[in-house]
């Protein structure tokens, strides 16, 4: 019986489980076994390619933190990769005054990028008497680049700030968003009921908003959508333990969904645990398409329309 040669090695390839005619301790047998192990390791490390959409379709990454140091050394490359994989726009998110300014600077520099501003619940203790006024001035002077207010909200998981301070800052910033005529980008972690209560007390919101990185169940999803808000689906939907989010992504009307990376965090499978990038957004979209039994293009087209409607700017194919 003849054996195919492994490319570039000169060593016979033996299908897995098939015995070779060479003695177990012979040099050639050792080479074969070594080459087969290397081939198995290489195959195991290979990742499925990033899903592609037709030229007329594209994605919008509605939530990424491009100003973070994780992107500091290769941001230009990251943005080129994003565009190459069909991500035609990215909203980079402010989480405090410094990052809000950085977000605006990135939006000024890169046509692909838009910005949001706001104070994250982790950072509300940094708020000073003039913080909000400076953010308002930043928004007024950069209307072309700023499309949302946030991320703001409540985080009871880590409690970097006392819940009372978080709720106060959240309520204040919801009012500022309405004053600036900007949609709100809401962070909710283990604070579902308080988030709902404050939204209802502070509404209505003429420009609407989005529950970023949605982490609730289908019941909460229905309540949020009934208030006129969108739900943003992160890479968690691709995780084996993302069962609740998968139910949400499968059942909530597509007209109420957005897509996000939350990069550099929460990379989708097959890159879970690694640095997340906007170019990985199609993995998340493909999972949503699979769950709904529709095409990737349909997910891309509708979520991109949703994002352009909420954030009030046009993205060209």
Could you give the CA distance from residue 102 to residue 110 in angstroms, rounded to a whole number? 12
Per-residue pLDDT band for 43 (boundaries 50, 70, 90) equals very low
Assess whether pLDDT exceeds 90 at residue 33. no
Once rounded to an integer, what is the mean pLDDT over residues 110-125?
98
pLDDT higher than threshold 60 for residue 305:
yes
Q: Are 298 and 251 in contact (CB under 8 A)?
A: no
Q: How would residue 196 be classed by pLDDT, with cut points 50, 70 and 90?
A: very high
pLDDT at 149: 98
Query: Rounded CA gap, 63 and 65, in Å?
Result: 7
Confidence class for position 16, pLDDT limits 50, 70, 90? very low
- Average pLDDT estimate for 36-42: 53
Q: With pLDDT > 90 as the criterion, what percentage of the chain qualifies?
A: 84
Span 148-178, pLDDT tens digits: 999 999 999 999 999 999 999 999 999 999 9
**Average pLDDT value for residue range 243-254:** 98
Asked if pLDDT for residue 67 goes beyond 70, the answer is yes
* Helices 131-141 and 97-109, packing angle to 10 deg: 10
- Helix boundaries (H) for 26-162: 27-45, 75-84, 97-109, 131-141
Check: CB of residue 278 under 8 Å from CB of residue 86.
Answer: no
Decide if 201 contacts 159 (C-beta within 8 A).
Answer: no
Mean pLDDT calculated for residue range 122-146: 97
Least confident piece of the model among 2-16, 63-77, 190-204, 292-306: 2-16
Looking only at the bridges linking them, the beta strands covering 257-259 and 113-117 are unpaired
Does the pLDDT at position 313 exceed 70? yes
Task: Determine what percent of the chain is predicted with pLDDT higher than 70.
Answer: 86
* Burial group, residue 218, by CB count within 10 angstroms (0-12, 13-18, 19+): middle
Q: How confident is the model at residue 238 (pLDDT cuts 50, 70, 90)?
A: very high
pLDDT score of 26: 54
HSE value, Cβ hemisphere, 13 Å, CA-based, for 25: 0
- The reported pLDDT for the residue numbered 46 is 85
Position 113 pLDDT exceeds 70 = yes
- On the question of pLDDT at 120 being above 90, the answer is yes
CA dihedral 267, 272, 275, 278 (to 10 degrees): -30
Q: From 279, 267, 211, 274, select the one nearest 235 (Cα to Cα).
A: 267
Question: Beta strand pairing status for 184-189 and 209-211?
Answer: parallel
* Res 37 pLDDT > 70: no
User: 12-13 and 4-5: which strand pairing?
Assistant: antiparallel
- pLDDT of residue 84 exceeding 70: yes
| Phi, psi of 90, rounded to the nearest 5 degrees | -135, 130
The pLDDT-based confidence of 1 (bands split at 50, 70, 90) is very low
Tell me what pLDDT residue 44 has: 53
3-state secondary structure of 23: coil
Q: What is the pLDDT of residue 55?
A: 84
Place of tokens 């169940």: 217
Of residues 264, 259, 295, 208, the one with CA closest to residue 67: 264
Q: Do residues 168 and 203 lie in contact, with contact meaning Cβ atoms separated by under 8 Å? A: no
pLDDT of residue 90: 98
Task: Report the distance separating Cα 257 and Cα 243, nearest Å.
Answer: 17
The token pair at 40 is 């198995």
- What the chain holds in terms of domains, given with CATH numbers, is 4-45 (no CATH), 59-311 (3.20.20.140)
> What pLDDT is recorded for position 7?
46
Q: Dihedral angle at the C-alpha atoms of 188, 136, 259, 190, nearest 10 degrees?
A: 0
Spatial distance between the Cα atoms of 87 and 287, rounded to a whole number of angstroms: 16
Question: Strand, coil or helix: what is 5?
Answer: strand
Instruction: Output the average pLDDT for the chain.
Output: 91
């Amino acid at each position: 019986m003849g054996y195919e040669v492994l490319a570039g090695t000169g060593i016979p390839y033996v299908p897995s489980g098939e015995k070779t005619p060479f003695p177990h301790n012979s040099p050639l047998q050792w080479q074969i076994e070594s080459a087969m192990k290397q081939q198995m390791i290489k195959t195991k490390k290979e990742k499925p390619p990033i899903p592609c959409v037709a030229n007329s379709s594209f994605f919008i990454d509605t939530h990424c933190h491009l100003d973070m140091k994780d992107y500091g050394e290769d941001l230009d490359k990251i943005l080129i990769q994003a565009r190459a994989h069909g991500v035609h726009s990215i909203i980079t998110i402010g989480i405090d005054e410094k990052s809000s300014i950085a977000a605006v600077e990135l939006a000024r520099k890169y046509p692909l990028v838009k910005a949001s501003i706001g104070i994250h619940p982790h950072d509300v203790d940094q708020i000073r008497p003039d913080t909000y006024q400076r953010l308002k001035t930043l928004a007024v002077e950069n209307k072309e680049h700023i499309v949302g207010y946030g991320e703001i909200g409540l985080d009871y998981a880590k409690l970097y700030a006392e819940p009372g301070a978080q709720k106060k800052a959240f309520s204040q910033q919801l009012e500022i968003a309405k004053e600036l005529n900007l949609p709100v980008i809401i962070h909710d972690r283990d604070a579902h009921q308080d988030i709902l209560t404050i939204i209802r007390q502070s509404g209505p919101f003429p420009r609407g908003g989005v529950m970023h990185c949605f982490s609730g169940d289908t019941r909460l999803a229905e309540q949020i959508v009934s208030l006129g808000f969108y739900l943003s689906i992160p890479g968690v939907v691709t995780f084996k333990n993302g069962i609740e989010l998968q139910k949400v992504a499968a059942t909530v009307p597509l007209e109420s969904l957005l897509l996000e990376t939350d990069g550099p965090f929460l990379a989708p499978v097959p890159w879970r645990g690694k640095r997340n990038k906007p170019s990985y957004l199609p993995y998340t979209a493909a999972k949503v398409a699979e769950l709904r039994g529709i095409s990737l293009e349909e997910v891309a087209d509708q979520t991109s329309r949703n994002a352009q409607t909420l954030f009030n700017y046009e993205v060209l194919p």
